[in-house]
Amino acid sequence: MLKIAFASGDRVRVNQHFGAAEGFVLYEVSPTRTSMVGVAEFPPEAMDGNENKLGAKVAFLEGCAAVFVLAIGASAIKQLVAQGIRPIRITETDKIEDLLYDITQGMKHGGVAWIDQAMAERARPERTPDRFAAMQEEGWEG
């Protein structure tokens, strides 16, 4: 299951620039189903390079594999990638429903690099800072 976000002002189409986005819609997506799990609304922002506006948006997207946007700036890309979130820029105002279908098909059949990578990352055991301590406690038999 992947959590995917869409920058949308109408909850129907991806139609927002990340930094100036007034809304995001979150979906959980599996190969066989999709379900909306969250919506966030933000006050209108000018695309003026004000980096402070990004923090709340990046925080809301925590745990997402990707966010679909109409446009995005370099600073936002850096912050998202640091959180393990792939920004995906589209060139048209695509319907979220159509994008969700494409994602489920990519999950079923493979061959879409970012989906394959995100699913592989989710399948790996969680890497916590104390994982080495846990290994040490298990002992080493040789």
**Which residue range(s) make up the domain with 68?**
2-138
Please state the pTM of the whole predicted model: 0.83
Which pLDDT belongs to residue 16?
94
pLDDT at residue 81 in the model = 96
Query: What total number of domains does the chain contain?
Result: 1
Task: For the chain of 142 residues, list the mean pLDDT of each consecutive stretch of 10.
Answer: 96 94 96 96 67 84 97 95 96 92 96 94 72 69 62
Q: What is the spatial distance between Cα 23 and Cα 62, in angstroms, rounded to a whole number? A: 15
Tokens linked to 19: 């930094």
Query: What pLDDT score was predicted for residue 84?
Result: 94
Q: Which amino acid is at 45?
A: E
Give the CATH number for residue 74.
3.30.420.130
Residues found in the chain? 142
**Planar angle of CA 81, 82, 83, nearest 5 degrees:** 85
